[in-house]
Amino acid sequence: MAEKSQQGPQPIVKIGHYTLGQTLGVGTFGKVKIGEHQVTKHKVAVKILNRQKIKSLDVVGKIRREIQNLKLFRHPHIIKLYQVISTPTDIFMIMEYVSGGELFDYIVKHGKLKEYEARRFFQQIISGVDYCHRHMIVHRDLKPENLLLDHNLHVKIADFGLSNMMMDGEFLRTSCGSPNYAAPEVISGKLYAGPEVDIWSCGVILYALLCGTLPFDDEHVPTLFRKIKSGIFPIPEYLNKTVVSLLCHMLQIDPMKRAAIDDIKKHEWFQWDLPAYLFPSPVEQDSSVIDTDAVNEVCEKFGVKEHEVHGALLSGDPHDQLAIAYHLIIDNKRIADEAAKAELKDFYVASSPPPVSFSPNELNPSPIRPHPERIAHNMLLTNVIPMALTFLVSLTFTYNVSIAHVTEYKVCPIQHFLTLQGHFSSS
């Protein structure tokens, strides 16, 4: 439970083993604050969700399901959700904190990147996206603002506020995310399976890394949408043919012809200097052999019995929550082993894990937006189902910034889309 103790003019707020500091962002559900572990002094990001607001929007079930899965995510290029602390009034999500800022700001500062640097960032992004897709999570709002950098300039995918579970035979119609990074089928209101929209967004990100500009951009929203639907974008002469072929495959307007993750991983340009830890080889083992330690961990985290986990695995349903959790744990062990071989164990574990022994009553999550983006970049498309819009907007955390702060970026081509904010601010 949160505690308050008076020290000087400002009260000190504590939750569990953490002291809460300055507010990083404010949203419909509550706030995102920086936290410090009282013993180790490691910093974390603490997202505070108001129970009453969550209940009023009828999203408790969705948040619970997604927290259960995201808590298990352990990938070197995905922001980690360490712990969930529950009080009668709020839910505190304890997440990894990184200090390097957004990839967006890095591009704004440096302009188009050297090809080797762009490729390094892109390889890390695809590794994280591949991990999400293999475990049935689609991000749906990938963009440089949601890609954070640590002090070593390693990418961390953040902001799963618009993420969704992938289910066989189920298609989505919700238009979400930022328009410049949205796939044609999304802005057209068509049905889509999920992974293909992340691929399109990654294609736009790759273009921004290489060119310092966006492939589809216009201050007039209808014109922007026409450009996206056309799939026609400028190709600078300085781009080599191999990366152009990859871009064209990823920015294919027909989702059925668009590159899949495996196509990207096998591409000649992507393979160059590819670190082995990003895509460790699957462990060959008899599928009938069940990892007892992994089963026990699932039982502990979900509060279920061993026979329930065994039943989920034997059912063959890849979308069963217990089966997903089991395979996540197995995958995490494999990635950790590969990272250790590459002497990246500290990087994999991250800089500020909470004490394992402390786990008060846990709800278990959904959308995580550990490092809220600035308000001028925070845009949702307008053609959404009303209930979905209410939910998505409620999960959006924003920074308070002055108009002067926003306009100072207009000198950079990639920033043209900031003017679109006015078209969506009333949504």
Helix, strand or coil for residue 398?
strand
Domains of the chain, CATH where assigned: 3-96 (3.30.200.20), 103-276+374-424 (1.10.510.10), 292-341 (1.10.8.10)
- 8 Å CB contact between 164 and 138: yes
pLDDT band at 283 (very low <50, low <70, confident <90, very high): low
Write the DSSP symbol of residue 157: E
Q: What is the CA radius of gyration of the chain?
A: 21
Residues facing 138 on adjacent strands: 164
pLDDT value of position 359: 35
Write the DSSP symbol of residue 162: T
User: Would you say residue 117 has pLDDT above 90?
Assistant: yes
Residue 47, marked binder:
yes
- With a CB cutoff of 8 Å and minimum separation 6, the contacts of 119 are 269, 270, 272, 273
- 8 Å CB contact between 172 and 191: yes
67-82 as b/e: b if 16+ CB within 10 A: bbbbbbbbbbbbbbbb
Residues facing 192 on adjacent strands: 172
pLDDT value of position 4: 52
Reported as type and span, the H/E element at residue 230 is helix 221-230
Give CA 265 to chain center in angstroms: 20
Catalytic, 346? Answer no
Task: Name the token pair of 93.
Answer: 């999500």
Number of helices (H), then strands (E), belonging to the chain: the values are 17, 13
Calculate the dihedral angle through the C-alpha atoms of 128, 78, 388, 318, rounding to the nearest 10 degrees.
60
- Residues belonging to the chain: 427
As a whole number, mean pLDDT of residues 43-69 equals 79
User: Would you say residue 69 has pLDDT above 90?
Assistant: no
Give me the catalytic one of 90, 130, 141, 217.
141
Write the DSSP symbol of residue 215: S
22-35 as b/e: b if 16+ CB within 10 A: eebbbbbbbbbbbb
pLDDT band at 342 (very low <50, low <70, confident <90, very high): low
Task: Name the token pair of 382.
Answer: 């307008």
Write 387-393 long-range contacts (CB < 8 A, 24+): 388/174, 388/176, 389/427, 390/57, 391/57, 391/59, 391/62, 392/161, 392/162, 392/174, 392/176, 393/28, 393/427
Rounded to whole angstroms, how far apart are CA atoms 39 and 18?
9
- With a CB cutoff of 8 Å and minimum separation 6, the contacts of 424 are 379, 380, 381, 382
pLDDT band at 387 (very low <50, low <70, confident <90, very high): very low
pLDDT value of position 284: 46
pTM above 0.75, yes or no: no
Reported as type and span, the H/E element at residue 116 is helix 115-134
pLDDT value of position 287: 52
As a whole number, mean pLDDT of residues 79-89 equals 87
337 or 53, higher pLDDT: 53
Rounded to whole angstroms, how far apart are CA atoms 368 and 153?
21
pLDDT value of position 324: 73
- 8 Å CB contact between 319 and 136: yes
- 8 Å CB contact between 100 and 150: yes
Write the DSSP symbol of residue 371: S
pLDDT value of position 386: 30
pLDDT band at 391 (very low <50, low <70, confident <90, very high): very low
Task: Name the token pair of 323.
Answer: 């089966």
- 8 Å CB contact between 277 and 76: yes
Q: How far is CA 222 from CA 148, 234, 271, 300, in A?
A: 30, 19, 37, 51
pLDDT band at 135 (very low <50, low <70, confident <90, very high): confident
pLDDT band at 356 (very low <50, low <70, confident <90, very high): very low
Taking alpha carbons only, the member of 231, 229, 227 closest to residue 219 is: 227
Helix, strand or coil for residue 46?
strand
As a whole number, mean pLDDT of residues 332-336 equals 70
- Rounded to 5°, the CA angle 129-135-136 comes to 90
